[in-house]
A and B are shown apart, each in its own frame.
Chain A
Amino acid sequence: MKRKVLALTLASVLSVSCLAGCSTKDAGKENPSSAGSTSGGGEALSFSYALPNRYKVWLEDLNYWKDMQELSGVSVELVDSGESDDAYYQSMDLQVGSGDMPDAAIVRQSQASVYGAQGAFLDLKPLIEEKAPNVQKYIDEHPEYAELITSADGKIYGLGVENPLYTNLTFYRSDHFEKAGITQIPTTLEEFTEALRTLRDANASVQGYYPWVGRDGYLHYAECFLCNDSISEDGTVNGVYNGGNGYDIYADGFRDMVEWYHTLYEEKLIDPEWVMGTGTEEEWQTKFLTGQGSVSDDFFTRPTWFTSNGGPDNDPDFHIEVMDLFQTTDGDIAHRYFDYVNLDRYFVVSASCENTDAVMAFLDWLYSEEGQEVMHYGIDGVNTKKLEDGTHEWIADFAVESIKPVGEPNIGLYQDRLTFPYPVDNEAYYESLDSKVQSYCFDYFETYASYSKQLIYTEEQLEQRSNLLAKYETEFYAGVLAFVKGDQELNDENWEAFLEDMEAAGYSKINQIDQDAYDAMNA
Chain B
Amino acid sequence: MLKKEIKTCGMLWAILLPGLLVLIFFKIAPLFGLVIAFEKYSTFQGIFGSEWVGLENFRTILSDPYTWQVVKNTVLLAFWTLVVSFPIPVIFALLLNEVRFGRLKRVVQSVSFFPYFISVAVAVSILSSFVSPSDGIINRLLNGLGFDSIHFMAESGWFRPLYVFLHVWQNFGYSAIVYISAMTGIDPGLYEAASIDGANRWKKVLHITLPELVPIAVTMFIVNLGSILSVDINKVLLMQNPSTYDTSDVLQTYVYRMAFGSTGFPNYSLGTALSLLQSVIAFALVMATNWLSGKLTETNVF
In the complex, A277→B65 CA distance in Å? 26
| Nearest-Cβ distance from residue A353 to partner chain B, whole angstroms | 15
Check A469/B263 contact, CB under 8 A, given A11-B15, A96-B43, A277-B242. Answer: yes
Contact with A along B89-131 (1 / 0, CB 8 A): 0000000000000000000000000000000000000001000
Interface residue B22 (Cβ < 8 Å from any Cβ of A): yes
CB of B44 within 8 A of CB of A119, answer: yes
CB of B264 within 8 A of CB of A278, answer: no
Interface residue B273 (Cβ < 8 Å from any Cβ of A): no
Interface residue A97 (Cβ < 8 Å from any Cβ of B): yes
Interface residue A226 (Cβ < 8 Å from any Cβ of B): no
| Nearest-Cβ distance from residue A245 to partner chain B, whole angstroms | 12
CB of A467 within 8 A of CB of B60, answer: yes
Contact with A along B3-46 (1 / 0, CB 8 A): 00000000100110110011001000000000000000011111
Interface residue B66 (Cβ < 8 Å from any Cβ of A): yes
In the complex, A452→B260 CA distance in Å? 25
CB closest chain-A residue, reference B156? A478
Interface residue A400 (Cβ < 8 Å from any Cβ of B): no
- Identify which of B197-205, B209-217, B243-251 touches chain A: B243-251
Q: Which B residues are CB-close (under 8 A) to A471?
A: 64, 66, 254
Check A15/B151 contact, CB under 8 A, given A276-B243, A463-B267, A467-B60. Answer: no
CB of A18 within 8 A of CB of B242, answer: no
Check A504/B65 contact, CB under 8 A, given A114-B265, A278-B153. Answer: yes
Q: Which B residues are CB-close (under 8 A) to A119?
A: 44
Q: Which B residues are CB-close (under 8 A) to A406?
A: none
| Nearest-Cβ distance from residue B57 to partner chain A, whole angstroms | 11
Q: Which A residues are CB-close (under 8 A) to B25?
A: 18-19, 22
| Nearest-Cβ distance from residue A24 to partner chain B, whole angstroms | 13
Q: Which B residues are CB-close (under 8 A) to A185?
A: none
Check A278/B241 contact, CB under 8 A, given A7-B15, A15-B18. Answer: yes
CB closest chain-B residue, reference A17? B18
Interface residue A4 (Cβ < 8 Å from any Cβ of B): yes
CB of A208 within 8 A of CB of B154, answer: no
CB of B243 within 8 A of CB of A93, answer: no
CB of A462 within 8 A of CB of B154, answer: no
CB of B154 within 8 A of CB of A276, answer: yes
| Nearest-Cβ distance from residue A229 to partner chain B, whole angstroms | 13
Check A90/B17 contact, CB under 8 A, given A18-B22, A467-B60, A481-B243. Answer: no
CB of B241 within 8 A of CB of A276, answer: yes
CB closest chain-A residue, reference B20? A15
In the complex, A97→B42 CA distance in Å? 8
CB closest chain-A residue, reference B16? A11
In the complex, A18→B249 CA distance in Å? 38
Interface residue B134 (Cβ < 8 Å from any Cβ of A): yes
Q: Which A residues are CB-close (under 8 A) to B64?
A: 471
CB of B265 within 8 A of CB of A208, answer: no
Interface residue A272 (Cβ < 8 Å from any Cβ of B): yes
Interface residue B192 (Cβ < 8 Å from any Cβ of A): no
In the complex, A466→B262 CA distance in Å? 8
CB of A465 within 8 A of CB of B17, answer: no
Interface residue B261 (Cβ < 8 Å from any Cβ of A): yes
CB of B66 within 8 A of CB of A7, answer: no
CB closest chain-B residue, reference A101? B44
Interface residue B161 (Cβ < 8 Å from any Cβ of A): no
Interface residue B135 (Cβ < 8 Å from any Cβ of A): yes
Q: Which A residues are CB-close (under 8 A) to B153?
A: 276, 278
Q: Which B residues are CB-close (under 8 A) to A273?
A: 133-134, 151, 154
In the complex, A208→B151 CA distance in Å? 14
Contact among B11, B258, B266 for A90, CB-based, below 8 A: B266
Interface residue A94 (Cβ < 8 Å from any Cβ of B): yes
In the complex, A211→B151 CA distance in Å? 19
Which residues 370-427 of A have a CB within 8 angstroms of B? none
| Nearest-Cβ distance from residue A469 to partner chain B, whole angstroms | 6
In the complex, A398→B18 CA distance in Å? 58
Q: Which A residues are CB-close (under 8 A) to B154?
A: 272-273, 276-278
Interface residue B257 (Cβ < 8 Å from any Cβ of A): yes
CB of B258 within 8 A of CB of A466, answer: yes
| Nearest-Cβ distance from residue A112 to partner chain B, whole angstroms | 10
Interface residue A446 (Cβ < 8 Å from any Cβ of B): no
In the complex, A467→B254 CA distance in Å? 9
Q: Which A residues are CB-close (under 8 A) to B261?
A: 466-467, 469-470
In the complex, A110→B265 CA distance in Å? 6
Which residues 6-60 of A have a CB within 8 angstroms of B? 7-8, 11-12, 14-15, 18-19, 22
Interface residue A509 (Cβ < 8 Å from any Cβ of B): no
Q: Which A residues are CB-close (under 8 A) to B66?
A: 471, 505
In the complex, A473→B258 CA distance in Å? 11
CB closest chain-A residue, reference B239? A278
CB of A477 within 8 A of CB of B242, answer: yes
Interface residue A485 (Cβ < 8 Å from any Cβ of B): yes
Q: Which B residues are CB-close (under 8 A) to A94?
A: 43
In the complex, A276→B258 CA distance in Å? 23
Contact among B21, B242, B264, B270 for A474, CB-based, below 8 A: B242
Which residues 409-463 of A have a CB within 8 angstroms of B? 459, 462-463
Q: Which B residues are CB-close (under 8 A) to A272?
A: 133, 151, 154
| Nearest-Cβ distance from residue B173 to partner chain A, whole angstroms | 28
Check A208/B135 contact, CB under 8 A, given A115-B42, A481-B243. Answer: yes
Interface residue A360 (Cβ < 8 Å from any Cβ of B): no
Q: Jot down 11 A-B pairs with beta carbons below 8 A, ordered by A.
A: A11-B17, A96-B44, A110-B264, A118-B45, A277-B154, A467-B60, A471-B254, A474-B249, A477-B242, A478-B245, A481-B243
Question: What is B's interface to A at a CB cutoff of 8 Å?
Answer: 11, 14-15, 17-18, 21-22, 25, 42-46, 60, 64-66, 128, 133-135, 151, 153-154, 241-243, 245-246, 249, 254, 257-258, 260-267, 270
Q: Known pairs A19-B21, A481-B243; list 18 more (Cβ under 8 Å).
A: A15-B21, A18-B25, A86-B260, A93-B43, A96-B43, A114-B265, A272-B154, A276-B153, A276-B242, A278-B128, A278-B154, A278-B243, A462-B264, A463-B267, A465-B264, A467-B60, A470-B258, A481-B242
